[in-house]
Amino acid sequence: MTTMTDSSVREFKMPDVGEGLTEAEILKWYVQPGDTVTDGQVVCEVETAKAAVELPIPYDGVVRALHFPEGTTVDVGTSIIAVAVGDGAAAAAEPVQEAVADTPAAAEAEEPKPEGRQPVLVGYGVSTSSTKRRPRKGAQAPAAAQEASAAIQAEMNGHGPAAPAAPVAPAAPVTGDRPLAKPPVRKLAKDLGVDLATVVPSGPDGIITREDVHAAVAAEPATPEPQAAPAAAAPAPSPTAAPASYDTTRETRVPVKGVRKATAAAMVGSAFTAPHVTEFVTVDVTRTMKLVEELKQDKEYAGLRVNPLLLIAKALLVAIKRNPDINASWDEAAQEIVVKHYVNLGIAAATPRGLIVPNIKDAHAKTLPQLAGSLGELVSTAREGKTSPAAMQGGTVTITNVGVFGVDTGTPILNPGESAILAVGAIKLQPWVHKGKVKPRQVTTLALSFDHRLVDGELGSKVLADVAAVLEQPKRLISWA
């Protein structure tokens, strides 16, 4: 078999497919070792914390190796596929290795070090960094971390304490650079009184994880004490203690990753950063529903998605125009309120992968037919799972339509970086006093959550009242526009 030279093999690294993303999960490979690929051909689909994205290869050649199997989460900047190019492509056409390599370490060693950014067709490429990270530790650390994590989780879930594990030797202090750990992990270590310098990391590139911290806590009582008498027999384990176990017929454990992981982090961050206030109003939307039916018959809207959400979105845009200070964000670092002179209208969408919030760029400048077209495209793209990361960035205000689930209303949590979110409840036929008489009318409840750091009660109330007024009397779309 022909030996390939370094110059004949190109390593394609996981690009940053969305600004600031650090990892992505490989969902599906479209090629296998030995396949011929061309410049721009999609080789795999990956899922980031924001969306599923197809990755095209930026050169011609023959696939030499896939470094990770499907379902693996890979850090940005890590080689995921090796492609033989030029003279090496002919050699690569010979019998190849297994479809998935055990580790990308060898591929990383072979790869020539390019200067600047590597060519990619999706995302932001990978810039060469001079930063050196601590090498990975042995396999013992992950095992200890998982053992301790399982014991703690089992006790929290009511399964009782796990059987005491074999004593774990305390980790040797790490010398040199500051231990690598994310801010939440550092806070956890501080709260538990754990010195990160004494923790053996099990994460990629020597990063300390939450499980490592819990493992360090669990290992402390296991430190052997001086023996009083050599002949003393070791205490027998309690007969009642049993290893933690889970009945798979009664419980299902789903890994937290991708969109769900990002949503959880964003919601926790928002809920405990921005002081939320939610106000409610119940409104008669009978006239709005009649207008929806009339627009469906209008030739101007042929082929467009016309529904109550369209007019609710337009009503919110009118309310923002009348109360522009609601369309703002809080800059903690600069201690400034940033008022946006544009509206990127977010629409919360439930997808098979979880909740996403794509937004319509410059929604304030769109006519009603244009807004209808943008809404239709946004919804269909989200349902297909093809929403791009760019479509979910830069939102300024959001609408969440919980009414589609038959729910009256809710207390929505702000999308990070925004100051207001409008929840729309189910539209139901209810008895309502209309022109002095009780009549059946179509009624809904609106809820507006806002960031009380920059939105006072008066401003929030005015915005919600304006939205309700437009939906009660849709002619205000003309008089207030």
Contacts of 163 (CB under 8 A, 6+ apart): 237, 241, 242, 243
Are 424 and 468 spatial neighbours (Cβ–Cβ below 8 Å)? no
Where do the DSSP E strands lie in 14-60?
23-29, 36-37, 42-47, 52-56
Which of 269, 331, 288, 254 has its CA nearest to residue 477?
Answer: 288
Token duo for residue 58: 């930026």
Radius of gyration, CA atoms only, the chain: 28
- Size (the chain), residues: 481
Burial class (CB in 10 A: 0-12, 13-18, 19+), 48: buried
Contact 330, 396 (CB under 8 A): no
Q: What is the DSSP letter of 162?
A: P
* 452 included as an active-site residue: yes
- Dihedral pair phi/psi, residue 171, rounded to 5°: -70, 145
Q: How far apart are CA 346 and CA 356, in angstroms?
A: 9
Task: Classify each residue of 64-73 as buried b or exposed e, where b means 16 or more C-beta atoms within 10 Å of its C-beta.
Answer: bbbbbeeeeb
Contact (CB, 8 A) for 375 and 396: no
64: alpha, beta or left? (left if phi > 0; alpha if psi -120 to 50): alpha
Widest Cα–Cα separation across the chain:
96
Tokens of 429: 């036929």
> Strand runs (DSSP E) across 50-189, as ranges?
52-56, 61-66, 73-75, 79-84, 180-181
Residues 6 or more apart whose Cβ sits within 8 Å of residue 351: 259, 382, 383, 385, 387
The residue from 159, 276, 364, 452 that is catalytic is 452
Contact (CB, 8 A) for 160 and 154: yes
Strand 336-339 relative to strand 345-347: parallel, antiparallel, unpaired?
unpaired
**SS3 call for 344:** coil
Contact predicate 46/14, CB 8 Å: yes
Which residues are marked as active site? 452
